[in-house]
Amino acid sequence: MEHTSIYMMHDLKQLSSHPIPDGFEFCLLEREEEGKHWAEIAAATGEFQDISQALERFSTEFAAHLSEAKKRIIFLKTTDGRYAGTASAWFGKWNNDMIGRLHWVEIIPEFQGQKLGRPLITKALKLLSQYHDQAYLKTQPSSLTAIHIYLAIGFKPVTQTTGEELAWNHILNQLNKN
């Protein structure tokens, strides 16, 4: 399957609840300097080759909108202060409307598999619901674990082209095999 992006939509009026496991907590970005933690998480998950590339992306994508970023970037931390993940309850254009966007959902590999994905995503969706009625996300067909979680939480596949329909058929077949 070629490397392509796929999209999913969520009606933010229908939110599920997934409590965070003991030993973890959420907090919002407070200062631009915390972009370093965002960059460390994003680099640790392989989204960027190194922290400096991730910091550059944080700077261009979020620092220019710092007041919004402080309301919309969530950190997942251990109760002893270690950063474990992040998600952004961001925004973007969808069919010429500004709607919510679940963006940059990342959990550091050492914390993956600890039932943190659903609580992190639902926390971001609840935050998004304060500003928007709908949200979308963009992911890759190879991100089967994440797609499985997104579907379970209530995201629906978007198929506007034959290519997207083929990609989703392939993804759903793969998920049904597992």
Where helices occur in the chain by DSSP H, the ranges are 35-44, 51-61, 66-72, 117-128, 144-153, 162-177
Question: Average pLDDT for residues 118-134, to the nearest whole number?
Answer: 97
In this structure, is residue 75 part of a structural domain? yes
- 101 has pLDDT over 50: yes
Instruction: Look over the chain and give the mean of its residue pLDDT values, rounded to a whole number.
Output: 95
Instruction: Identify the band that residue 3 occupies on the pLDDT scale cut at 50, 70 and 90.
Output: low
Residues in the chain: 178
- 41 has pLDDT over 70: yes
In this structure, is residue 1 part of a structural domain? no
Cα–Cα dist 57/119, whole Å = 25
Q: What is the pTM of this model?
A: 0.94
- 90 has pLDDT over 80: yes
In this structure, is residue 154 part of a structural domain? yes
Instruction: Identify the band that residue 14 occupies on the pLDDT scale cut at 50, 70 and 90.
Output: confident
In this structure, is residue 78 part of a structural domain? yes
Burial of 103 (0-12, 13-18, 19+ CB in 10 A): buried
In this structure, is residue 140 part of a structural domain? yes
In this structure, is residue 158 part of a structural domain? yes
pLDDT of residue 1: 45
Total number of domains in the chain? 1
Task: Give the domain CATH number at 62.
Answer: 3.40.630.30
**Structural domain boundaries enclosing 132:** 6-177
Sheet with 97-107: list strands edge to edge: 24-28, 73-78, 83-94, 97-107, 134-139, 6-11, 156-157
